[in-house]
Amino acid sequence: MNATLPMAGAPANTNAIGLTKHDYRGAPTTLCQGCGHNSISSQIVAAMYEMDVMPEDVVKFSGIGCSSKSPTYFLNRSFGFNSLHGRMPSIATGALFGDAKLKGIGVSGDGDSVSIGMGQFKHAMRRNVNMVYIVENNGVYGLTKGQFSATAEKGLELKRQGENPFLPIDVCMEGIISNATFVARSFAGNAKQVKELLKAAFAHKGIALLDIISPCVTFNNNDYAHHSYAWSKEHEEPLQDITYIAPRNEIVLEQEMLDGEIRDVALHDGSIIRLKNLDKGHDPTNRAEAMRVLEEARLNDWLITGLIYVNENKPSLIDLHNLVDAPLNRLNESDLRPERAMLDKVNAMMF
Amino acid sequence: MNKIVNDFSITIGTRNGSGSSTANTTILRSIFKMGVPVSGKNLFPSNIQGLPTWYTIRVNKDGYLARKDVSEVVVAINADSFSRDQAAVASGGVFFYSDDIRLPITRTDISVYPIPIKTLIRNDANVPSDFRELVGNMIYVGAVAQILGIDMDAIRAALTFHFKGKQKPIDMNLNAVKNGAEWAKENLQKTDPFYIEPMNKTEGLIMADGNTAAAIGSIFGGVQFAGWYPITPASSVAESLSEYLPLLRKREDGKHTYAVVQAEDELAALGMAIGAGWSGLRAMTSTSGPGLSLMTEFAGLAYYAEVPVVIWDVQRVGPSTGLPTRTSQADLTFTAFIGHGDSQSVILLPGDVDECFDFGWKSFDLAERLQTPIFVLSDLDMGMNQWMSKPFDYPEVPMDRGKVLWEKDLEELKGNWGRYLDKDGDAIPYRTMPGNKHPLSSYFTRGTGHDEYAKYTEDANMYLKNMDRLVRKHQAAKQYVPAPILHERKGATAGILAFGSTKNAIFEAQDQLQAEHGLTTDFLRIRAVPFSKEVDDYIQSRDQIFVVEMNRDAQLLQLLYMEYPQHATKFKSVAYQDGLPASAKWVREGILAVYEAPAKKTTKKTAKPAAKKASAKGKAAPKKTAKTSVKAAKKVVVKKSSVKKTSAKKSKPAAKRK
C-alpha cells in the first residue's frame, strides 16, 4: 500500500499536530492486489495527515461491497460504521448528530450508491449531510464476483453476464440534480488529483460527492483482455476459474494531467478509458454549466475529472437544527429531562 | 319510562373530511367534564374526504371504557350511511338525523329526532358561508346536548380547550351549539330514556391519546433524535415530538438539544435513528406494520451490532397494507423474531395512554442499558383515540445511560477494553461514542461477524461465543423490563393472559363472566417480552388460562407455547381480529367458547353448571341477560351475532389456531 503513496515534497515524520502517518493508517487491505480502492485509501491517509486532522474528529462510514470494506484500511483511530448495503447515508445522517464537530468520510460503491442505495444516496445529497461521500466506481459488483452495476457502460461485456444493454447512470449528474453542494470526479490512478479533491471535499461544509473511477482488476475484464498478459496464454484454464485472482499493480498516471487535457488510460484488461480534465475556465459555481460539461463528456465518451460543481452557501443539515454548542452525545439528564413543573404543565394541557 | 343514566353508547355517522371530529370530541370532552366516565373511538376509513366515517362514544357510570357492540344513540349526518345507521340503533334507542336527508324512517321502535342542520346554519349570520359545513356540525352537538342533558358550560370548556382559548372560533362554534340546543328545546319532545347526569368520577383525570403520551414520555426520557416517515396510525407520535419538544426543552439560548428528521422512507428512518443511537443519542423512530417490515434489515443490524434505539410500532391491521385505519395486535411474533438469522427482541407492551407515557421514557433506559433495539407495541385504538387517564407521573428514577466509557474511564482502564467484551459477566459490554478523544476509544462497528474487539472475524468459536452472550443478554433483560400487572380476584378458578389495549374489554368481560356465568377469573397483563419471572409464576399456579389477543393467529399464545411447552395444555386461545377495538362481548364469548369447567363439578364439558349460578346473579349483570349467553357459550361460534353494528363483521370469536 505504501508504494502508491505520492511523497510530494520533503517527507516529514510528524505533521503540525504531532502525529505520524502511522496514526492515520488502517489495517492491511484484504482487497485484491492492484485494486484502485487501495490507492484511494492511501490518498485518504495522505490527505488527512497533510491537513493535520485529528483522526478522532473523523467518523468513517460505508455500506456493503468491496468499496465498503475499505474504511478498515485507513484511519484506525477513527470511529467507523460498516452498515448495510445501500444504507450508509442514513446511518451517517443520524450518527453525525452525535457530535456536530465531527466530519464524516463515507466510502460507497456504484452498486451501493446508485443501485440498491439510490434513494438514500440522493436524499443525503439533498439534505447536505456534513460528510465526504466517496463513490469508488468500477462499474461492476466485485464481491459477488462480477455482475454489471448501474454505472457500467453500454456494450460492456463481462464474463458470464454477456453484454450490458443499458446506458450508465452518471453518479455526478445524479448528485448535481439532487442538489449536492460539492461534486467532483477523479480517477484512482491520478493520485495527486484524488488527494487534492479529497482535501477540498473535506474542507467543504456539507455533502461533498467524489465519484472516483476505480477499475476492478479482477472482474471488469473481458476475454480479450486475458490475452493481453503474457501469463494468460499459459494459464488459460485458471483464468476461467473466478476464484483465481491474478496479482497486478495499481494503475497510476505517470504524469500529472493539465487543465483541459484529454488522456487515454489503459486498464488491466487492455480496455481504454478517456480522461478529460476540466478546462481551466470551468466555473464550478455554475450549476447549469456543471450539467453542461457532464453532458458534453457523455456525448464524447470522456470521463470528465476535477471539481465539477460547488456551492459553499448552503447550510448543512446540522446547521439547520440550531444545536447547542456542546456535543449532543455529552449532554446529561439535566439538559435532557424537563423539570417536574413542566410535567404539571403538560398534565394541565391534557384537558 | 325508566331513566337510563350515564350508561349507553353514542355513534355519530358522518362523512370523512367534513370536519366532524371537532364536534365529536366536543361531545366526548364535555361528558368527561361533567364527571362521567367516557371513551371515544374514531372508526374511520383510509380516505381524505368523502367516505362514511363513524365516531363512537361510550358513556359508562361504572367506568367500562371498551367499545360496545351496540349503540343506543345514533346521529346520522351522512346520507350515504343513513340506512345503515338507522338499522344500527339498539331497540328502544335514539336516532338523530339531519333533516335534509330525504330517506325513509323505517324503525318504529326507536325515538327519532330530525334536526334542520342546514337551515339553522344558513340562518346564522355569524357563520361565513364557507364555514357552514364545518360549524354546522355544532348544530347536532347542541341538539344531542339538549336531549341527553349535556351541560352547556362543559361544552364551552371543551371548545375553549379545542380552540386554545381563541375567542372568535369559540364563540362561533358555541353559538351554533346553542342554536341547535335552542331549536331542539322548542321543537323536540323527548321520548327516549337516555340521560347524562353529572358525576364526580373524572376528577383529577386527564384526557389524551397514546401517541401524544408516547411523544411526551419520550421527551421526559430525554429523546435527542427521531427519524420517522409518515404512516397511519403512527404519524402523530413524531408530530407530537415536533410540537412538544420546543415547549418542554426550551432553553434560554434558544438552541436545541434534539433533532427530528423526516426520512425518505422507513429504512432511512430507522437507519438514522440507529446512527444516532450508535453515536450516543437517545434515538427513536415510530411506525406501523408496513414500516416495520421495511425496518427489518436495520433491526437485525441493531440487534447484532448492539446499538440502542427505540422503535414504536403503532399497530394496524395487516397483512400487507391491510386495513390501514383499523386497530390490531398482530405484529407481536414478527417483532419478537424480526430479522433474518437468529434474533430475539425486547418488546414493551403498553396497555393504556399512561403506560405509553411511562414506556416513552423507560424505553430509552432499557435501550441504553441493554444496548439493543427496544420495540414498543402500541396500537391504533390506544394511539389515536382520546382516553381518560390518570395524569402522567414524573419518572421516578434517574436516567440509566448504561455502560459508557468516556476519556477518563478509558484512561483508568489504560485502554483495556473491547466493545463486545463481557467484562462484568452480565453479557452487557461497554461502549464508546464518536467524539471520544481518547486514541483507544474507537472501534469499527459492523453487521458482519466480529470478535470481542469489534474486529471482523468468521471464526466459529468467536461466533458461538458472541451469539451465546446475546442469548444471555436477552435473558438478562427480564430483570429490567416492566413486570406484568396482576389483577387478582378472590375465588378465581381460571386465569387470563393478555397485553395491550384489550384490557378494558377484558375487565368488563370478567365482570360479566362472574355475574352471569359464575366464572371467576383473574388477569395477568403482560407488559414485556421476554417474559419475566412473574409470568412464570402465574402460569405455574393456574390450571386453565385464557390467552386473549386481537389477532388471527394467536401470536401471544405462540410465544407462550415456545417459552412454556410444559404448560401448553393450560392455554386456551381467545384470538380474534376484525379491525374493531376489542369489546367485552367477544372476550366473553370467546372465553366461554373454550372454557372447560373443572371435571369435579360436572361430567359434562359445558359451561352450564357455571351458567346456572349466573342466572341467579343475572339481575346484577350490567348488560346482557344470562339467558342468551348460556347457549352462546357453546354455540356462538356458528351463530350469527345479534349485533346490528355498522360493519359487516362476522361474530366468530376465538378462531382456534395452532
Report pLDDT digits (tens) over B21-42. 999 999 999 999 999 999 999 9
Report pLDDT digits (tens) over B104-146. 999 999 999 999 999 999 998 888 888 888 899 999 999 999 9
On chain B, the residues whose CB falls within 8 A of the CB of A321 are 256, 259
Residue B168 main-chain phi, psi, to 5 deg: -60, -55
Chain-centre distance for alpha carbon B494? 25
B92 Rama class: left (phi>0) / alpha (psi -120 to 50) / beta: left
Q: What is the mean pLDDT of residues B554-569?
A: 98
C-alpha closest to that of B360 among B257, B220, B248, B455: B220
CA distance B200 to B113: 30
Chain-centre distance for alpha carbon B248? 24
Residues with Cβ within 8 Å of residue B414, at least 6 apart in sequence: none
CA distance B466 to B462: 6
Confidence of residue A4 (pLDDT cuts 50, 70, 90): very low
User: B268 and A93: CB-CB below 8 Å?
Assistant: yes
Number of domains in chain A: 1
Cα angle for residues B186, B119, B148 (degrees, 5° grid):
40
**B167-187 and B152-162 helices, crossing angle to 10°:** 150
> In this structure, which amino acid lies at residue A309?
Y
CA distance A262 to B247: 59
For B246, the closest chain A residue by CA position comes to A338
Q: Can you give the pLDDT at residue A303?
A: 85
CA distance A36 to A135: 12
Confidence of residue B608 (pLDDT cuts 50, 70, 90): very low
On chain B, the residues whose CB falls within 8 A of the CB of A91 are 271-272, 274-275, 278
CA distance B365 to B384: 25
ipTM: 0.89
Q: What is the mean pLDDT of residues A11-27?
A: 90
CA distance B159 to B151: 13
Chain-centre distance for alpha carbon A336? 36
Say yes or no to pLDDT of B64 above 90: yes
* Three cell numbers written together for B421: 467484551
Does A225 reside within a domain?
Answer: yes
CA distance A249 to A194: 18
Q: Can you give the pLDDT at residue A269?
A: 63
Q: What domains appear along chain B, each with residue ranges and CATH number?
A: 4-203 (3.40.920.10), 208-389 (3.40.50.970), 407-479 (no CATH), 485-635 (3.40.50.920)
CA distance A273 to A264: 6
Q: Can you give the pLDDT at residue B536?
A: 98
CATH number at residue A234: 3.40.50.970
Neighbours of A350 (CB within 10 A): 19
Neighbours of A179 (CB within 10 A): 15
Q: Can you give the pLDDT at residue A154?
A: 83
CB B248 within 8 A of CB B218: no
> In this structure, which amino acid lies at residue A161?
Q
Does A349 reside within a domain?
Answer: no
Beta-bridge partner residues of B487: B523
Least confident of B83-87, B185-189, B226-230, B612-616: B612-616
Q: Can you give the pLDDT at residue A160?
A: 78
In this complex, is the C-beta atom of A17 within 8 Å of any C-beta atom belonging to chain B? no
Does A348 reside within a domain?
Answer: no
Distances (CA, A) of B451 to A187, B153, B300, B448, B461: 35, 67, 18, 10, 10
CA distance B532 to A313: 55
Output b/e per residue, B288-312; b: 16+ Cβ within 10 A: bbbbbbbbbbbbbbbbbbbbbbbbb
Neighbours of B111 (CB within 10 A): 20
Nearest CB to B248 within list A93, A96, A342: A342
Does A334 reside within a domain?
Answer: no
Say yes or no to pLDDT of B390 above 80: yes
Average pLDDT of chain A to the nearest whole number: 85
Q: Can you give the pLDDT at residue B619?
A: 40
CA distance B429 to B421: 5
CA distance A61 to A91: 8
* Three cell numbers written together for B560: 407462550
> In this structure, which amino acid lies at residue A98?
G
CB B386 within 8 A of CB B374: no
Report pLDDT digits (tens) over B428-454. 999 999 999 999 999 999 999 999 999
Say yes or no to pLDDT of B604 above 60: no
DSSP conformation letters of B370-413: HTSEEEEEEEHHHHHS-EEEPPPPPPSS-----SB--HHHHHHH
Say yes or no to pLDDT of A5 above 80: no
Chain-centre distance for alpha carbon A64? 13
On chain B, the residues whose CB falls within 8 A of the CB of A319 are none
Which site among A62, A329, A340 would you substitute to test the B interface, given the most B Cβ atoms closer than 10 Å to its Cβ?
A329
CB B457 within 8 A of CB B488: no
Q: What is the mean pLDDT of residues A14-23?
A: 95
Average pLDDT of chain B to the nearest whole number: 91
Query: Beta strands B4-5 and B7-15: pairing type?
Result: unpaired
Distance from CA of B46 to the nearest CA of A (A): 27
Q: What is the percentage of chain B residues whose pLDDT exceeds 90?
A: 86
- 3-state SS string over B267-301? HHHHHHHHHHHHCCCCEEEEECHHHHHHHHHHHHH
- 3-state SS string over B242-259? HHHHHHHCCCCCCCECCE
Does A332 reside within a domain?
Answer: no
Residues with Cβ within 8 Å of residue B297, at least 6 apart in sequence: A84, A87, B267, B339
Q: Can you give the pLDDT at residue B261?
A: 98
Does A117 reside within a domain?
Answer: yes
Say yes or no to pLDDT of B170 above 60: yes
Distance from CA of B142 to the nearest CA of A (A): 21
Range of the domain at A57: 20-325
CA distance B234 to B230: 7
Q: What is the mean pLDDT of residues B546-556?
A: 98
Distance from CA of B333 to the nearest CA of A (A): 24
On chain B, the residues whose CB falls within 8 A of the CB of A59 are 279, 434
Cis peptide preceding B193, ω within 30 of 0 = no
Does A26 reside within a domain?
Answer: yes
Which site among A90, A118, A120 would you substitute to test the B interface, given the most B Cβ atoms closer than 10 Å to its Cβ?
A90
B residues 500-529 closer than 8 Å to A (CB): none
Does A81 reside within a domain?
Answer: yes
* Three cell numbers written together for B107: 324503525
Confidence of residue B16 (pLDDT cuts 50, 70, 90): confident
Residues with Cβ within 8 Å of residue A111, at least 6 apart in sequence: A65, A85, A141, A149, A150
Confidence of residue B639 (pLDDT cuts 50, 70, 90): very low
Neighbours of B204 (CB within 10 A): 8
In this complex, is the C-beta atom of A341 within 8 Å of any C-beta atom belonging to chain B? no
Say yes or no to pLDDT of A135 above 60: yes
Residues with Cβ within 8 Å of residue B369, at least 6 apart in sequence: B400, B402, B428, B480
Least confident of A111-115, B6-10, B50-54, B287-291: B50-54
